[in-house]
A and B are shown apart, each in its own frame.
Chain A
């Protein structure tokens, strides 16, 4: 170990996350290092988006504990740090799910994020592929302690294709980064501050540029929805297939996911990776233009490559799981190795229908005691 430190400069940094040691290139963030391990060790991220420069640090769901800063300076960091914006040092020891402090803080953050969220999932188009749903499911509590009126906003149409439902927004700022970095002119941003902060455009200005649709893809919740898809279908009823077309818009990769039901294309999105971010092709993020997204709604427009492999843990992954763990079937075990013939078959084995207990002979209504074996 001591010999390795002397080598200048170290090609890779050794970092230990939840007792798993890996080597990553210098400059990698803790979150990205954890993503190379994958699984439960990876902190959830609601605002960080690896393809958007400057994103992250805001939602605080990815907080981790740094138990040792580096080999050179092994002091622990005094506060929990946002793993998406903290770069690893050589010999850093990070605690994510092994730290009670992190679990506690993360539960707090999830509660804060859900505090003013309307929880209108049954009527929300994002349901099924919503990061906040996943987050709430994995790290949240079953109830809320908030007993005041929730914050609401009026729905807003921003441009011909996108509807903004600010009530659902968690202010991750991703959509403003998309507008900043993908298009020439940003016409929307954050107005007001604190609890009242909202995403909005300049007064009565419509967002109208070729890449605005990507805002829908980066939105982790249902705050920005596709107007051509709104209320048309539930995502889990549609079947995702990978498709591509020769797109002439500069900057558009033309590689998409079509969401089909039968032969009908319900919506078109960019292809997402397992972290819910757009996939990269040849090192470039696969953003798609509005023509591909909103105007090409016939299967004939596309060359279909095959069914999308969805390996995220979302509801949409139903039937398309990779690395799926099927729950253990126990019926056969109960029945002594044979398959059940009828549902009643199971009851036959139970104590209710044991021979020797005659319901007509019991005094009053039957009670579980009446069927005890030792009677």
Chain B
């Protein structure tokens, strides 16, 4: 049983309401934080080794210390709740069932950053969660944790919830800021970074929901205590939203010391693969991170056991590794077709590209069309090389990371499953009727001892 921090009280009946949340020890961190100085809180977060939970894994304390502090210019905290990555739904769970956790974390973070007006930018599709958050904010305000002169400390803080309009790109921090300002959600060209010029050209910190929530246990238990959980630079706990071909899809809190194998096959977590099927591949961190075939997923190229943490998942770079990403864990069993799967992802990125810079605008559509062609049995061998070339020319050449996110899944699918693409080309009729299965594995597919 791993240590639970964020979801420890998730199953307490009525935890959504202020009374129950407070009774279970909620808002303790606010009381504690107000006795500390803002710089001490930042220091505490630095000590905890907390890394951004939105995907990039940037150290949060460091990000906070970058915020510019010009005299007389307000600063803002913006919580990125635009959780649109396919396969990721961890923030939704947190906001829907324990909204006060986020509010509590926001009050502490706002105090640390000196933000008197903080925002939650929430995905437009999460309409009902907006209402839940609004209610939680109202309750917190009633009980004196928000508004003017919080708990008599003289610190004012307001939290506003802003709904997006259904664009994936608005999860990119500068596009989010543009959208929050009421403009078209096009990513800005960096520099300047949001820490210097963010919302309304004011210094801004944009953090993921889970990151801000994790500030609560850091303040409660202390940064050093938090850093003891986990391993190496992957400290604390991480929410993983598991989905795909597993027995128990859902949101799990892990402490980053368990192995990928344990996560997929143990009954505590995903509970194995249904109907006695075998594991084919997995995307461990949301749709944009590279897909890994089962053999590389469970053991690294060095032959070590792959663990569920930032370093181990990234072991081997993109050649044989992947990324922790946002924790959207998508499992594919032997019946899934990688070509079709890649096509679905390419379709998503084509649909969500903002159209601002040319490689992404034109390249994503092109990739989707070629993948569609291969998937429908009309592909040619040269199309596979062409796909590789297109993704290579998109990656790194765009304004924001959406171009990279569109290129990586295609690159990884071709890198690890090229024979499956070739099989589609060589068997134009068969590929419409059945899929390639597990035939591409050079080495025997791993069968866990428990199976």
Contact = CB atoms under 8 A, between A and B. Distances in A.
Nearest to B372: A148
B378 to A, nearest CB: 11
Interface stretch (A91-99, A105-113, A119-127): A105-113
B364 A109 contact: no
Contacts of A314: none
Interface stretch (A54-62, A153-161, A208-216): A54-62
B358 A113 contact: yes
A116 interface: yes
Given A109-B397, A193-B167, A60 B355 contact: no
Nearest to A114: B362
A163 to B, nearest CB: 22
A69 interface: no
Interface of A: 56-60, 63, 79-80, 82, 85, 104-105, 108-109, 111-113, 115-116, 145-146, 148, 170-171, 173, 189-190, 192-197
Given A109-B397, A194-B350, 12 more contacts: A57-B189, A58-B399, A60-B359, A60-B397, A82-B399, A108-B394, A109-B358, A113-B362, A146-B366, A194-B352, A194-B354, A195-B350
Contacts of B299: none
A171 B366 contact: no
B99 interface: no
A108 B403 CA distance: 14
23 contacts: A58-B356, A58-B358, A58-B399, A60-B358, A79-B396, A85-B189, A104-B393, A109-B359, A112-B361, A112-B366, A113-B362, A146-B366, A148-B366, A148-B369, A170-B358, A190-B355, A193-B167, A193-B355, A194-B353, A194-B361, A195-B353, A195-B362, A195-B364
Contact of A194 (B351, B397, B398): B351
Contacts of B358: 58-60, 109, 112-113, 170-171
B399 A189 contact: no
Given A108-B397, A194-B350, A115 B357 contact: no
B362 A58 contact: no
A225 to B, nearest CB: 21
Contacts of B352: 193-194
Interface in B44-103: none
10 closest residue pairs by CB, A with B: A108-B393, A197-B355, A194-B353, A112-B362, A57-B189, A115-B362, A195-B365, A194-B355, A79-B396, A112-B358
A35 B353 CA distance: 32
Contacts of A116: 362
Question: In which size bucket is the chain B interface?
Answer: 20 to 34
B321 interface: no
A148 B369 CA distance: 8
Interface string B394-418: 1011110000000000000000000
Nearest to A194: B353
B8 to A, nearest CB: 39
Contact of A112 (B350, B386, B393): B393
Contacts of A79: 396-397
Given A145-B386, A197-B361, A189 B184 contact: yes
Contacts of B354: 193-194, 197
Most chain A beta carbons < 10 A, residue from B189, B386, B396, B398: B189
A57 B369 CA distance: 27
B285 interface: no
Contact of B357 (A57, A80, A146, A189): A57
B363 interface: yes
B393 A105 contact: yes
Most chain B beta carbons < 10 A, residue from A56, A108, A113: A108
A82 B354 CA distance: 18
B399 A57 contact: yes
B350 A108 contact: no
A286 B332 CA distance: 61
A171 B397 contact: no
A116 B350 CA distance: 15
A82 B189 contact: yes
A194 B365 contact: yes
A87 B212 CA distance: 34
B216 to A, nearest CB: 34
B236 to A, nearest CB: 27
Contacts of A57: 189, 357, 399
Contacts of A170: 358
Contacts of B353: 193-195
B398 A60 contact: yes
A105 B393 CA distance: 6
Contact of A80 (B167, B189, B369, B397): B397
B355 A171 contact: yes
A285 to B, nearest CB: 22
Nearest to B404: A79
A36 B351 CA distance: 41
Most chain A beta carbons < 10 A, residue from B184, B355, B358, B399: B358
Interface in B355-387: 355-359, 361-366, 369, 386
Nearest to A190: B184
